[in-house]
Structure 1
Amino acid sequence: MKRSIALGLAGAVVLASTAVTGATAQAAPGLHFGPCPADISKPYPKMRCANLEVPLDYHSPNGEKLQLLVSKLPARKPAARRGSLLVNPGGPGGAGISFAGDLIGQLPAQVLDSYDVIGFDTRNTAHSTPITCVDPATYWKNPLPDPDAPQAREQNWQRAQEYADGCQQRAGKYLPFLNTPTNAQDMDRIRQALGEQKISYLGYSYGTYLGAVYGQLFPQRVDRMILDSSVNPDTSQIWYRDTLGQDVSAQQRLDQYFDWIAQYDRVFHLGTDRAQVRAAWDAIQADLRKAPRGPLGPAEFDEITFNALYGEDDWTPLATAIADFRLRNDDSELIDHVSTKDKADENTNAVYNAVECADASWPTRREDWEHDSQQLAANNPLTAWYNSWTVAPCRVWPGPQQQPVKITGAGLPPVLMFNSVHDAATPYQGALEMHRSLPSSVLVTEQNAGKHGVYALAGNPAADQIGTDYLVNGTIPPQDRSIPGHPTPDPTNPQTNQDSP
């Protein structure tokens, strides 16, 4: 459990409660909670699970049904219970129930006392009628083609076509109904099945967009809502330009990571300034372009580096691995970082593409994609091409594409937002746009930090206190505020070398 300190919120606004404190849980029609699947029950033995049937197509509610898996950890103090808190990890395609299990270990005690914590795997994800588009053993076999190499461009376009074709062949009947508005409708079916008039919600990353769309479709059903690390909801940004914006923020965060490595040159010996550390990183990438080291090639090195920018957990291990490779020609640690994608990873990728490709229209001309990627790569080389190939199936997507939902926040109660100012995955500019789109929102900015996920995840006591006061007591800052960032790791002190307690 996180340590926290009491912080005075001078002038905090107290919200009118929309759930009765001490109310007992209502009946849960259609939800009969029992043991969870073994992969859930073993690490999270206190959680209970239930299957919920939802329509494949909400326009044909009596037609084919899908199974969604929903999890529940009851409020620890029934007398203090105020409702159900649905949580979502983002993605799209993140395994929501396993995330809920992890989050339970990090949410403050007052929240666990006051809420039934409800996890759910969104449709076609994890335990909820999962889909795949390709055979992961062959399609994702490492090393993957170099994302940046012009000579590999045709191969990468062919892979994008192969992936889109595979989705049509293996999951075609689901594609017309895999999108964010349908996920939001599923959430409201969960609410109904829980017997709740209103639900509270905690969503991260893509979960912020899902929460905003839910709030747009069902504002009268929202009690309290936290949106953490927000997607830019502007209809012109979803999802193509959101992906391009991520390339810029990731490069900026990489520079900060290089600065951090340089700060500890006595530990890593990779240089005393950003340019020297970048040169060491570039030299490894050049080496891998000449000849991959087993499963480790340029694409894998990009992915390893990008993943490390989501938080600081892996900063010290990755810097050590880079030093081993560069200074001692020892590639073993970097190879250990290579992700071998299995069926679960492929499911996540399938849903990621399916939802993003369906939520909005995408450019259809290869020339447009290549022009935008080339321009971005000049100053933001880390993910400019890597990200483009990730979503390239959307150029030739076989399913229908819709107009994005316009977020206005009409009818919503006060919403609390968090974002770190240097978030690599969901740039801060997106949080500002989400904030503008939700007039009832208050934005808490974590300064001098870049963690993707702030409340209950970053180890920031000030953020945790603000979020907990809002969820439990209904207090919210009267205006936007900034808080100091959580500390970065100190590689000279292993006890501080972590991103979350």
Structure 2
Amino acid sequence: MRHRRHLLAAAVAALLATTAAPATAEPAPNRPQWTDCDGKPGTPQECATLTVPLDYRNPGGREIQLAISRIKAADPAKRHGILLTNPGGPGGAGLDLPSDLHSRLPQQVLDRFDLIGMDPRGIGQSGQVACGQTGSLFEVTWPRHPGKHGFAADARAAANLARQCHRRFGDRAPFLTTRNVARDLDAVRAALGERTASYFGTSYGTYLGAVYTQLFPERTDRVVLDSAVDPASAWRQSFRNWGPVNEQALAEWADWTVRNGAPLGQTAERVRARLDALLPKLDRHPVQHGSFTFTGEVLRPVVRGVLYDERDNQGLAALIGDLDRGALRDPAAIALADQVAALPPADELFSGHLAVACDDAEWPRDPARYAVDSALDGRKYPFFGAAASNIHPCAFWPGKPIEPPTQVVPGRAKSVLIVQAAGDTSTPLVGAQGLRRALGDQGRLVLLENTRVHGVYANFGNACVDAEVTGYLVGGALPAKDVSCRK
């Protein structure tokens, strides 16, 4: 559950390499000094800090501190090396990911790898950036103002947020990029004295992993990219892709409610109509749950996050039914609302997301482009199309990226195993397919058919997927061809 909720937070908060700055990360002069993360000697995870350049083009200039973590391989006699990890985002903290993975990964993997976590630069204990936003993640992440002047209000809010972020951390913003995080990963590898590194990343972590393989192909070993981003679409098109997949997911969910007796309507069409009518109703009459307020525009990203995992279908049905009745009473609805309300505030999760998304690649600057796209996608994909294509703070982000995006090309990575659920609503299947094509013969795809989940390996419990990925991590050989698994 912790892993599934983490993915909900991360996404709602979710590319031969073109090199304008050196690809090679400077080896750290000193080995990390490991200590107990929480002061409890019985826990396996250790923590340390590592000093790296803020700007790798100027390795003798300003430095920053990275927070890193480790759980050693369980069987020294079988140890293969290190497994660098990232949980997703952009903006997700990864310091505690080794402990999470230690509770989920099969013993064959735990025996062979030191699990390595890291809060990426500008995130968590690695110098958390903050734009100074107030309110919940769902109130500020994809906001839309109502009425005929709504887009103008959206544009003003996006521009104000971009300026606010740069007032607070503009001196660091240009360097909080995926390419620099990949260089940080390589600095961790060097500091640990490892010739090569394996990698496991989910969601945004797949983009980071793909970039790492292009910048440091000779230093990558076994690479698993779970729930994949197409590097060629980062980032605006990746967000726009949420419109159609969430429309399909809602249709599947509505059909599920009918087949499983959830009392929202006698047909899938009536269930969907009830949800559509609920959105403006909540805007007029919000429902309060503790300190969290459910409005229609807040409910959109909440539903989008819950759709990440089909195992939450019942909770979503209970939440929609109770919100329509004006109060949360169903235990399943209350449990889900409690999880939503307990997520960290927007400033903690979304500020780092903006720093990466806006500095990784250049966004369109003309507000009219967003107005047209949002209106078009809103008509085609009514639930989330308009929000996904709406004006974004990156349209007003000062300056241009200091490097071009990374291009993933065949023949550069050693070997990469992509894992994907066909119904993933956060990183849609089209992204995994794009990444698979870009990798050429060095990539393979393990596809879980007929399933809606974000984060498949050692999370959904599919024996076929887990066997393929574990076999690759343990043995190092890619499957002979792409693999299709079913529930």
Distance 1:451 1:350 in 2: 26
How do residues 387-406 of structure 1 correspond to structure 2 at under 5 angstroms? 387-389=388-390, 392-401=392-401, 402-406=403-407
Q: Give the aligned partner of residue 467 of structure 2.
A: 465
Confirm whether residue 118 of structure 1 aligns to residue 116 of structure 2. Answer: yes
Q: Name the CA distance, whole Å, in 2 between partners of 1:141 and 1:202.
A: 31
Q: Does the 8 Å CA contact 2:136/2:345 hold for their aligned counterparts?
A: no
Which residue is 2:15 aligned to? none
Q: CA deviation at 1:147?
A: 5.0
**Cα shift at 1:238:** 2.1
Deviation at 1:30? 2.6
Q: What residue in structure 2 maps to residue 441 of structure 1?
A: 443
Letter of the aligned partner of 2:225 in structure 1? L
The letter of the residue matching 1:346 is D
TM-score, normalised to structure 2, is: 0.87
Confirm whether residue 292 of structure 1 aligns to residue 286 of structure 2.
yes
The answer for the alignment partner of 1:352 in structure 2 is 353
1:143–1:133 Cα change, 3 Å: closer
Q: Alpha carbons of 1:246 and 1:140: their partners in 2 closer, same or farther (altered >3 Å)?
A: closer
In the alignment, what sits opposite 2:423?
422
Secondary structure of the corresponding residue to residue 476 of structure 1: coil
SS in 1 for 2:47: strand
- Equivalent position of 1:365 in the other structure: 366
Work out the CA distance in 2 between the residues paired with 1:115 and 1:276. 51
Of 237, 248, 251, 2:244 maps to 248
Provide Cα deviations, 1:95-131, integer angstroms capped at 9, x if missing partner.
Answer: 1122332222111111111100001111010111111
Task: Give the structure 2 partner of residue 65 of structure 1.
Answer: 63
Q: Residue 330 of structure 1 is aligned with which of 327, 345, 361?
A: 327
> Where does residue 283 of structure 1 map in the other structure?
277
Residue from 232, 253, 265 that aligns with 1:257: 253
Which AA in structure 1 matches 2:453?
A: K
Residue 392 of structure 1, CA deviation = 0.6
Unaligned residue ranges in structure 2 (runs of 5+): 2-27
In the TM superposition, residue 344 of structure 1 has moved relative to its aligned partner by 5.8
Corresponding position of 1:207: 205
Secondary structure of 1:475's partner? coil
Residues in 2 aligned to 1:450 and 1:37: alpha-carbon distance in whole angstroms: 36
How much has 1:283 moved relative to structure 2? Answer: 2.1
Output the CA distance in 2 between the equivalents of 1:67 and 1:156: 36
Per-residue Cα deviation, 1:299-346 (whole angstroms, up to 9, x for no partner): 2111210011111343212211222233x4434647935845876642
1:456 counterpart (448, 455, 458): 458
AA in 2 matched with 1:478: A
Give the AA of the match of 2:273: A
- Give distance in 1, aligned partners of 2:29 and 2:84: 15
Q: CA deviation at 1:91?
A: 0.5
Which letter maps to 2:280?
A
Partner of 2:134: 136
Following the alignment from structure 2 to structure 1, what is the Cα–Cα distance between the partners of residues 205 and 238? Answer: 15
Farther off after superposition, 67-76 or 274-283:
274-283
Q: CA 1:301–1:149 in structure 2 vs 1: closer, same or farther (change >3 Å)?
A: farther
Distance 1:198 1:164, change over 3 A: same
Is residue 32 of structure 2 the alignment partner of residue 31 of structure 1?
yes
Q: 1:310 and 2:316 equivalent?
A: no
Distance in 1 between residues matched to 2:358 and 2:254, nearest whole Å: 34
Runs of 4+ in 1 over 6 A off after TM superposition: 138-144
Q: 1:142 to 1:345 in 2, by over 3 A?
A: closer
Contact 2:88 2:204 in 1 (8 A): yes
What's the offset of the Cα at 1:373? 1.1
Residue-pair matches, total: 451
Which digits, 9 at most, give the CA deviation of each residue in 1:16-75, with x for residues without a partner? xxxxxxxxxxx994311112157xx79x93200010011011111111111111110000
> What is the rounded CA distance, in whole Å, between the counterparts of 2:206 and 2:263 in structure 1?
40
After superposition, the Cα gap between the structure-2 partners of 1:308 and 1:28, relative to the gap in structure 1 and judged at 3 Å, is farther
The 8 Å contact of residues 83 and 116 in structure 2, kept in 1 or not, is answered as yes
Taking structure 1 as the reference length, the TM-score comes to: 0.84
Alpha-carbon distance between aligned partners in 2 of 1:207 and 1:305, rounded to the nearest angstrom: 23
Root-mean-square deviation (Å): 2.5
Mark the runs of 5 or more structure 1 residues left unpaired by the alignment. 2-26, 486-501
SS at match of 2:96: helix
In the superposition, relative to structure 1, how do residues 429 and 145 fare at CA in structure 2: closer, same or farther (>3 Å)?
closer
Q: What percent identity do the matched residue pairs reach?
A: 35
Alpha-carbon distance between aligned partners in 2 of 1:210 and 1:144, rounded to the nearest angstrom:
23
**1:278 partner amino acid:** R
Residue 102 (structure 2) aligns with: 104
CA contact (8 A) 2:142 2:388 kept: no
Query: 2:192 — aligned with what?
Result: 194
Identify the residue that residue 408 of structure 1 maps to in structure 2: 409
Structure 1 residues 65 and 342, CA gap change in structure 2 (3 angstroms): farther
- Distance in 2 (alpha carbons) for counterparts of 1:421 and 1:403: 30
CA distance in 2, matches of 1:286, 1:163: 26
Task: Report deviation, 1:482.
Answer: 0.4
For 1:449 and 1:186, the matched residues in 2 are separated by 34
Whichever residue aligns with residue 281 of structure 1, its letter is L
